[in-house]
Every structure is written in C-alpha cells, then in structure tokens.
Amino acid sequence: MAKAVATINLKGGVGKSTMTAALAEFMAGDFGKRVLLIDLDPQTNLTTMMIGSDQWQALNESGRTLKALFEEALDSKAATFDIEDAIQRNVSPLANLGGIDLLASSLDMIEISEEVAAWQYDEPDSLEPVLVLKRAVDRIRDQYDYILIDCPPNMGIITRNGLMLADAYVIPTIPDVLSTYGIPQIQKRVRMFSDKTGHKIKALGLIITKYRKGTNLHRDTIQRLQNAVLDYDALPAHERELTERPPNVIPVYIPDAIAIASAADYFDWGTLNKRYGGGATVGALNELTSHLMTNVEIYT
Ligand SMILES: Nc1ncnc2c1ncn2[C@@H]1O[C@H](COP(=O)(O)OP(=O)(O)O)[C@@H](O)[C@H]1O
Ligand SMILES: [Mg+2]
C-alpha cells in the first residue's frame, strides 16, 4: 500500500510545492513508481505546475477539485464527490512521463477550510473533520506506491487532514535565519496532533532548498541545524525525554537553480534532465528522491 508523505512548513516560498512536484517526477521517471499528488494549498501552485491553468479552470468549474470533497462532507445536499472522476491521470507537463496522478486544489479552499474549522470547533472531540481526506483517499490508496501531500503554509484544519493521511512528513527549508525560525513550532504542532489522534507521523527531516554553495549564511545555518541534533543526542537520557529531538538535516541539498524555478512553467521540456537543468541539479534531485524513498520504507 502507498506510503504517504506530507511537505510542511509554516513559511511560504521555501520550495514546498516545487520539491513536491520534483519528487513525484523523479519517483515516476527515474524509479518507475506510481505517485498520487494531493494539492491542499488554495494557492494551487502544485496543481498548475502539473496540469497548467487552463485545465485547472475546467476542473474547478466542473467541481472536480478537493474543494468539492470538503463541501460534500459539510453538506449532505452538496453534489457527491467522485474521487475516480476528480483524479487527473498522468499529469506531468512532460508528455512521455507517466505514473503521476493529481487531486487538484482550488482557490475556493480558503472558504471551505473556514467551514471545516467551524465544524471542528463545534465538535472538538470528534475526529470526523480531520478524517475527510483520508476516508476518500483510502479507497484508492492501493493504486499507488507513494502519495505526496503539498500542504498550505499553516497548521490549520486542511493541513491536519493531510497529516491524518500521512505516514511521514518532511520540512523543506531555505537554510537562512527566517526560513528555519518556525521549525520547532512545526514539530511541536505535529506531535500534539499525533498525541490527540493516536496517529503516528514520522519526521523524515529537513530538505535544504535553494542552497547557495559558498555563502556563509547557508553554510552556518546548516551547521547550526546539524549541531542541534548532535547536542540533543549528547544529552543524558533523562534530559532527552524532556524535549524533542530536532529534525535531521537530509544530507542532499537542493541548489538554488534557475532551472528549478523555470520548472514551474507548464511546458514540455521532453526529459527530466532538460526540465531540471541537467548536471548537479538533476543529480541532487535524483539522490534526494532515492534517500527519501529508502527512509520512508525504513521508518514507517
Ligand atoms: N531550488 C530552487 N532554486 C531556485 N528557485 C526555486 C527552487 N525551489 C523553488 N524555487 C522557486 O521559489 C519560489 C517558491 O517556491 P514554492 O515551491 O512555490 O514554495 P512554497 O510552496 O514553499 O511556497 C518559486 O518561484 C519557485 O519556482
Ligand atoms: Mg506552495
């Protein structure tokens, strides 16, 4: 059955959606995996990266985005959400890259998320409001090897729906001061959610994005993040029990590369190598994908 991984950061612009798209494309293209992408962010960046804005518009108008799933859960009179009909098949702009499907997001998810949040507020002890996505996706889960969930930059009810489905999560971050600031917050919130629901979610670590080799800031920030883990591990057991282990820094850094930024364009470059600029960039993306797949299998 598919292993599901969520990409989370409370900060926007750190490469969550770009990494989610790239991981799916390398899983499918280099490793022959079947991948389901779930876009939970109302900004719909992952969706438009994978299907372009024209197809998204058509989907949105015909009620085949995740907004319709939450709408159905909120209102028994709403149209039924048919997940098989909503799923977009073989979605990469690379025409000859198969194996990636998508559940699209919608700009209207903002309103819906407020309604789902109100439902949770009215029934604070119920898990129903965070089980909407999982219930739907569980029916099709065995069609895939991996499910990648791109979350909005908050820990709201829609992200919590994603976490309920996830076996593990990764935190993409630029190695600078402001991007790494909220990391302990994310860990804490995921742990609280896990404790409340009884659903275990493994932290797979930090994905270093937009890495600029040779800059002191990036090198020092990575060093600080690594030292935090080493310091923790050096604590006596009774002290370790009191706090959480900081997330590992995944040892493959994704460079700040114009080719990766250009990959947001819905354009058929022909091959993964051309789309992601070849050379070291493609090597890093392939290695990161391999690293994550191995760790998902080991730790979940
Ligand atoms: N490794 C990278 N090198 C260069 N630009 C990148 C890289 N990763 C992401 N970007 C660009 O940075 C911006 C933010 O990335 P995005 O994936 O949308 O972040 P998020 O989903 O965290 O908000 C986008 O313009 C994207 O194209
Ligand atoms: Mg995004």
| CATH number for the domain harbouring residue 225 | 3.40.50.300
| Residue 14 Cα to ligand 1 middle (Å) | 6
Q: To the nearest whole number, what is the mean pLDDT of the chain?
A: 96
What pLDDT, on a 0 to 100 scale, did the predictor assign at position 1? 86
Pairing of strands 3-7, 168-173: parallel
Contact indicator for 299, 169 with CB cutoff of 8 Å: no
pLDDT average, residue stretch 165-186: 96
Distance of CA 40 to the CA centre of its chain: 9
Whether pLDDT at 150 is above 90: yes
Residue whose C-alpha is closest to residue 42's, from 86, 100, 108 = 108
Q: Which ligand is nearest to the CA of 175?
A: 1
pLDDT average, residue stretch 164-177: 98
**What are 43-100's pLDDT values in tens digits?**
999 999 999 999 999 999 999 999 999 999 999 888 889 999 999 999 999 999 999 9
Residue whose C-alpha is closest to residue 45's, from 221, 287, 224, 261 = 261
Total structural domains in the chain?
1
- Residue 137 has a CB neighbour count (10 Å cut-off) of 24
What pLDDT, on a 0 to 100 scale, did the predictor assign at position 79? 87
| pLDDT interval class at 202 (50, 70, 90) | very high
Q: Which ligand is nearest to the CA of 174?
A: 1
**What are 245-270's pLDDT values in tens digits?**
999 999 999 999 999 999 999 999 99
Element (H or E) spanning 56, and its range? helix 45-61
What pLDDT, on a 0 to 100 scale, did the predictor assign at position 67? 96
Q: Which domain holds residue 247?
A: 3-299
| Residue 19 Cα to ligand 1 middle (Å) | 8
Counting from 1 in the atom list of ligand 1, the atom nearest the Cα of 254 is: 1
Residue whose C-alpha is closest to residue 209's, from 246, 247, 252 = 252
Q: What is the dihedral of CA 67, 99, 260, 43, to 10 degrees?
A: 0
Q: What is the arrangement of strands in the sheet containing 3-7, beginning at the earlier edge strand?
A: 100-103, 35-39, 146-150, 3-7, 168-173, 202-208
Assess whether the C-beta atom of 16 lies below 6 angstroms from ligand 1: yes
User: Whose alpha carbon is nearest atom 25 of ligand 1?
Assistant: 261
Assess whether the C-beta atom of 209 lies below 6 angstroms from ligand 1: yes
Which of 16, 17, 18 gets mutated to test ligand 1 (max ligand atoms within 8 A of its CB)? 18
